Amino acid sequence: MAKSNKPIFWGLFAAGGTVTAFITPALALITLFAAMRFSPDMFTYGAIHAFAAHWLGKLVIFGVILLSLWHAAHRTRVTVHDFGVRADGLVAIVVYSLAGLGTLLTLYYLLYI
């Protein structure tokens, strides 16, 4: 039987969808609170830095960003097609390059913290 690498990518895509569905609303609520200056005690540098400095925190941040980034990138490619743009090759290069860049930057900043 011919081997295919599709199951791996579909698995990652599904994982990204799951992460996005379960976690992103709560994350967006937190950053909305931060944007509104809901409370001065929340979203402090000390607390967030401590979370991101721990290896487990780094792993969680990297996992969430990686999965939602590539999931959103692939869906953006499909969405652009659905809006009638027939330049899939170019669109794919743009969205996956953005996702790749985002992944590298996330790794760099996490190692820097």
Partner 1 sequence: MNKPYVRSLSKTGWFLTQPRYKRYMAREVTCLFIFAYTFLLIWGLKRLAEGPDAFQGFLNALHSPLGVLFNLAVLIAAVYHSTSWFNVTPQAMPIMRGEEFVPGNIIVGAHYAVWAVVSLIVLILGV
Positions touching partner 1 (CB under 8 A) are: 17, 20-37, 39, 42-43, 45, 48-49, 51-52, 61, 65, 68-69, 71-73, 75-76, 78-79, 82-84, 86, 95, 98, 102, 105-106, 109-110, 112-113
C-alpha separations of 16 from 28, 40, 46, 88 in Å: 16, 32, 29, 21
- Distance, CA of 1 to CA of 16 (rounded, Å): 28
Give the nearest distance from C-beta 11 to partner 1 in angstroms.
Answer: 14
What is the number of other CB atoms lying within 10 angstroms of the CB of residue 70? Answer: 21
Nearer to partner 1, 1 or 36 (CB): 36
